[in-house]
């Protein structure tokens, strides 16, 4: 065989193997497109047709070119009117046959195809279409009569084989859309829950500011008091700003939260100092028993303060006058354990299984019931655990275990 003949054959094979540019797809549609592309390739190899095209149905009910192999002119993209002609077909059909309705014959001429087979559901609803065209002997050729029965049989067999997989792929697409809608609703619900959480959490810094303002008239001449509480109030106002920034962060769920650790010894001491005045106003003592220089944990300082504030404020509210609340911290083999205990009535066994649920509260005066749910979420997001048991001094004891950073 001469070199000229070899080059001519290579060009012919390259032209015969061209594929149409198809509509860009997402993950599920790419699977469907791959499925149809395989069917198109096999059908072209089986029948020898010049052009084989597969259309698939969009979610809006219109067709698009999902796969094609052809020589010569590329296939025409379908419009919405094509569905009416395809819907009238029940099996593989010669579109130019005299018995076909006028709209079917016009459809074949418009899209340059000689035969088509719908891929349908059990109920007969079209999901996709296989079309063949060109001047191949398999199609009889111009002026050579009807499309050969063997070609129609191959076309119908391909459509039948595709019916189940195409239906499954399109069902997966609808499920994917439903999943996305559910995720969108989940984000909206999360924003609603976050609003309640922010309202709950902003109350804690306001307690500090309120306490300072209440004590200010009688202690405004105390430099140490002014310095200490100026620092505390400034820090708490900054924390409120960061809490509000969390709303924006939650509104953009794609944005990854920055990773940061914190020093639990310093946070425990700061929380004990912050709540000491509130506790004393109720006749309750706050004791800090943290080991010095505890290892850094995987929770950021704001979040760790949030956990301890929620637990300690609940403990103060539960402890009667003359009692004490204890904040402890100790290193364990794999992390740090934080303990907040009170001398109140404790938590019943039946309530312990629900105490970390959102909006569950054993108190009527503060019915929001979000504090412990917030604590659990933060702790578990950091890879830790939180639990409640009977305390050493008769009340409740909350234990938080956090991994080291």
Residues 158 and 281 in one domain: no
**Domain around 303:** 258-405
Residues 20 and 159 in one domain: yes
What burial class does residue 374 get, using C-beta atoms within 10 Å of its C-beta: 0-12 exposed, 13-18 middle, 19+ buried?
buried
Residue 162 lies in a domain: yes
Residue 205 lies in a domain: no
323-350: pLDDT as tens digits: 999 999 999 888 999 999 999 998 888 8
CATH code: domain of residue 54 = 3.30.450.40
Instruction: Say if residue 255's pLDDT is above 70.
Output: no
Cβ atoms within 10 Å of 58's Cβ, excluding its own = 14
In this predicted structure, which of 63-67, 225-229, 258-262, 382-386 has the lowest mean pLDDT? 258-262
Give the confidence band of 20 by pLDDT, cuts at 50, 70, 90. very low
Residues 267 and 174 in one domain: no
Residues 151 and 10 in one domain: yes
Residues 168 and 313 in one domain: no
d(CA 354, CA 256): 30
Q: Which of residues 181, 213, 243 is at a domain's end? A: 181
Residues 35 and 134 in one domain: yes
Residues 6+ apart with CB under 8 A from 350: none
Residues 169 and 269 in one domain: no
Q: Where are the beta strands (DSSP E) in 36-185?
A: 51-57, 63-70, 93-94, 115-120, 126-133
Closest CA to 86 of 111, 49, 67: 111
127-181: pLDDT as tens digits: 888 988 887 776 765 544 578 888 889 889 988 888 888 777 766 666 666 666 6
DSSP per-residue string spanning 202-261: HHHHHHHHHHHHHHHHHHTT-HHHHHHHHHHHHHHHHHHHHHHHHHHHHH-TTSPPPP--
Angle at which helix 149-219 crosses helix 371-381, to 10 degrees, equals: 120
Residues 175 and 262 in one domain: no
Instruction: Say if residue 82's pLDDT is above 50.
Output: yes
Q: How far is CA 287 from CA 266, 273, 315, 341, in A?
A: 14, 10, 12, 10
184-229: pLDDT as tens digits: 666 666 666 666 666 766 777 787 788 778 888 888 888 888 887 7
Mean pLDDT over the full length of the chain: 78
- Global pTM reads 0.44
Residues 298 and 157 in one domain: no
d(CA 337, CA 329): 6
**The pLDDT of residue 64:** 84
Q: How many domains would you assign to the chain?
A: 2
Q: Which of residues 158, 181, 204 is at a domain's end? A: 181
């Amino acid at each position: 065989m001469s070199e000229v003949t070899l080059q001519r054959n290579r060009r012919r094979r390259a032209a015969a193997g061209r594929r149409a540019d198809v509509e860009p797809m997402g993950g599920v549609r790419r699977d469907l497109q791959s499925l149809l592309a395989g069917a198109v390739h096999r059908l072209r190899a089986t029948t020898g047709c010049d052009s084989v095209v597969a259309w698939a149905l969009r979610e809006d009910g219109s067709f698009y070119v999902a796969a094609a192999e052809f020589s010569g002119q590329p296939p025409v993209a379908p419009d919405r009117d094509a569905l009416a002609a395809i819907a009238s077909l029940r099996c593989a059909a010669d579109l130019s046959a005299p018995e076909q309705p006028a709209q079917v014959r016009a459809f074949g001429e418009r899209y340059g195809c000689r035969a088509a087979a719908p891929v349908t559901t059990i109920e007969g609803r079209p999901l996709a279409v296989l079309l063949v065209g060109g001047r191949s002997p398999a199609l009889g050729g111009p002026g050579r009569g009807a499309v050969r029965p063997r070609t129609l049989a191959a076309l119908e067999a391909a459509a039948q084989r595709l019916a189940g997989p195409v239906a499954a792929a399109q069902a997966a697409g609808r499920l994917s859309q439903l999943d996305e809608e559910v995720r969108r609703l989940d984000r909206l619900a999360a924003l609603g829950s976050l609003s309640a959480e922010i309202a709950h959490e902003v109350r804690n810094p306001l307690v500090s500011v309120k306490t300072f303002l209440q004590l200010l008239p009688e202690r405004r001449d105390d430099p140490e008091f002014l310095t200490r509480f100026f620092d505390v109030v400034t820090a708490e106002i900054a924390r409120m700003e960061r809490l509000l920034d969390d709303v924006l962060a939650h509104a953009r769920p794609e944005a990854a939260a920055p990773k940061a650790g914190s020093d639990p010894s310093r946070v425990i001491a700061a929380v004990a100092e912050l709540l000491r005045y509130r506790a004393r106003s109720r006749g309750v003592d706050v004791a800090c028993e943290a080991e010095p220089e505890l290892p850094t944990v995987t929770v950021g300082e704001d979040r760790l303060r949030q956990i301890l504030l929620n637990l300690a404020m609940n403990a103060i509210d539960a402890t009667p006058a003359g009692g004490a609340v204890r904040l402890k911290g100790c290193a364990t083999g794999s992390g740090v354990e934080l303990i907040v205990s009170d001398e109140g009535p404790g938590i019943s066994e039946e309530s312990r299984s629900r105490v970390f649920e959102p909006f569950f509260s054993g108190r009527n005066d503060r019915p929001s019931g979000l504090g412990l749910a917030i604590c659990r979420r933060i702790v578990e997001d950091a890879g830790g655990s939180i639990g409640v048991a009977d305390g050493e001094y008769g009340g409740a004891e909350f234990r938080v275990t956090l991994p080291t950073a």
